[in-house]
Amino acid sequence: MRTFRLTALVALATMVITAGPPTAASAGGKNHDRSGYLRVGYFTQWGIYDRGYTVGKLESSGAASRLTHINYAFGNVSEDGRCYVDGGPGEGDAWADYQRPVPAEESVDGVADAWGEPLNGNFGQLAKLKARHPGLKVLISLGGWSWSTYFSNAARTDASRKAFVASCIDLYLKGNLPILDGGSGGPGAAAGVFDGIDLDWEWPNWPGEPGNVIRPEDRENFTKLLAEFRRQLDAYGRTTRKHHELTAFLPANPATMDAGYEGRKIFRYLDFATVQGYDFHGGWDPVTNQHSALRVPTGAPDDPDFSAEVAIDGWIARGAPRGKLVLGVPYFGRGWTGVTGGGDGLFQPAAGPAPATFEAGFEDYRRLKTLPGSGYTLHRDLRGGHAWLFDGTTFWTYDDPAVVLQKMLYIRRSGLAGAMIWSLDGDDDEATLTRTIGLGLATP
C-alpha cells in the first residue's frame, strides 16, 4: 500500500512540475548528471529532550541510510570570536553534546554509555552512526538564529579570522573537548566525529535575532572568513589525508543576499550551500499565507513575495553555480488562529499564531500529519507547490509527502545539488519525509 501511494505521488508530482513554466533555475529542463544528490539533514542538539529525537532514531527509522550529510545544530561563537562549548544556560549544552550517558535503548548500537567516558552524548552516538554508514558525513553547524550574535566580531580582521577558524578546527575536527565533571572530554576525544564546518551566520550586515552585532563590512568579511576556513581546512586535510567540507546556510530574501554576500565570490570556497526554503510567512503576518511554497501562489497579497523558486533564482542571478545549491525543505508548519473570511482559509485575516506543542505558530510535521480528517480539510495548490490545513478557524501551512516529491523533481529538473532538511526531529517515527526525499532523489 505504501509503495502504491508513493508511486501515485511521484506521478502527480511529475505532472505538476513538468507543467510549470521555465525559470532561471529550470531553463533547459536537463536532469542533474551528478552521481548522486546531496541529502543534508540538520540534527538539533535540543531535540533529544521534549521531542525525544535521539541519534539512535536516525538509525531505527531508516533515515540515516537516506542521508549524505548530517549538520549538527549548533556550535556557539564567543564575544571574542572563538568556537567554544559551554554548559551555561543559553550558551550551550555540553551535557547533550558529549557528557550524557546514553542508555542502551537509545543507543545506535544498543550498547549503553558508562558515566565519564571521553565521548558520550550526541557526539558519541554520531561516531557510532558513522561507523555503520561509512559514507555519511557529519558537519558542525556554527551559529543559527540564536548564536550568530558575535559572528561579525570573529570575521572582522585578518587576525580574528585566523584565530576563530583555528579554534573551530581544534575543538570540533581535532576533537579537543573541554574536560567536564566526571571526565568526559579531553584531547582528541571527538576526533573523527566531524568531517567539516557549516556556517549558519544569520545574517551578515542584516538584522537577525535582536542584539546581533552587525557591520557594513560583514559582506566582504564573510568572503574573507570563508577563504580563511578553506585555507586552514585544506592545511589540516593534508595531515588527515581527507577533504574537509565547508558549507553555508544562505537566506531566501534577495535584499539579504545583496546586503550580506558577494554572490559568485563565496562559491569559490564552498563545497555547497543550503538555501532557506521556508519561513516565508508565519504568525507574525496579519493574514494567512504559505511558508514554503515552491512558487509564489496566484493571488498572493504581497508583491514581490518569497518562494523556493524565488530564492534559488535569486542566487543563480547573483552568480551561484546551480550544482552547488541545495534547497531547504521544512519538516514543520506555520499556523494562524482566529481566521476570518471563510473559504479555504488562504490569504485571510487572522488573530495571531496558532496554539501549538512547543511554540505558538510552529508545529512539527509528525503532528500536522494527524490533522486531516479530524476537523481539518487538506487543501493543495498544485501549481504553487504547497499544501495547507484549515478547520474554519485555524490554518496550518506545511509540506506533506506530495509537496516534498514535487520539490525533489524541481531539484532534478533544475540541476541543483540536492535537498536540505530543517530539521530531522520534525519527521515521524517512520521517517516518512526523509524516505520521500530519498525516493525523489534516487538515481538509477
The pLDDT > 70 percentage for the chain reads 92
pLDDT at residue number 303: 93
Query: Which amino acid does the sequence have at 425?
Result: D
For residue 234, being part of any structural domain is answered with yes
pLDDT at residue number 9: 53
Lowest mean pLDDT among 25-39, 92-106, 287-301: 25-39
Tens of pLDDT, residue by residue over 116-167, are 999 999 999 999 999 999 999 999 999 999 999 999 999 999 999 999 999 9
CATH of the domain at 89: 3.20.20.80
For residue 27, being part of any structural domain is answered with yes
Which residues form the catalytic set? 202
For residue 365, being part of any structural domain is answered with no
For residue 54, being part of any structural domain is answered with yes
Arithmetic mean of pLDDT, 308-327: 98
Tens of pLDDT, residue by residue over 225-272, are 999 999 999 999 999 999 999 999 999 999 999 999 999 999 999 999
For residue 179, being part of any structural domain is answered with yes
pLDDT at residue number 8: 52
Range of the domain at 176: 2-332+406-440
Report how far residue 379's alpha carbon sits from residue 387's, in angstroms, rounded to the nearest whole number: 6
What does the mean pLDDT of the chain come to?
93
For residue 397, being part of any structural domain is answered with no
pLDDT at residue number 195: 98
The pLDDT > 90 percentage for the chain reads 91
Structural domain tally of the chain? Answer: 1
Report how far residue 383's alpha carbon sits from residue 294's, in angstroms, rounded to the nearest whole number: 8
pLDDT at residue number 218: 98
pLDDT at residue number 444: 76
Query: Which amino acid does the sequence have at 282?
Result: G
Tens of pLDDT, residue by residue over 38-86, are 999 999 999 999 999 999 999 999 999 999 999 999 999 999 999 999 8
Tens of pLDDT, residue by residue over 5-46, are 444 554 454 444 334 444 555 443 333 334 599 999 999 999
Lowest mean pLDDT among 5-9, 13-17, 373-377, 398-402: 13-17
| DSSP string of 94-110, one letter each residue | HIIIIIS---GGGSTTS
Nearest one of 376, 423, 386 to 406, comparing CA atoms: 386
pTM (predicted TM-score):
0.94
Q: List b or e across 228-262, with b for residues whose CB sees 16 or more CB atoms inside 10 angstroms.
A: bbbebbeebeeeeeeebbbbbbbbbbbebbebbbb
For residue 363, being part of any structural domain is answered with no
For residue 392, being part of any structural domain is answered with no
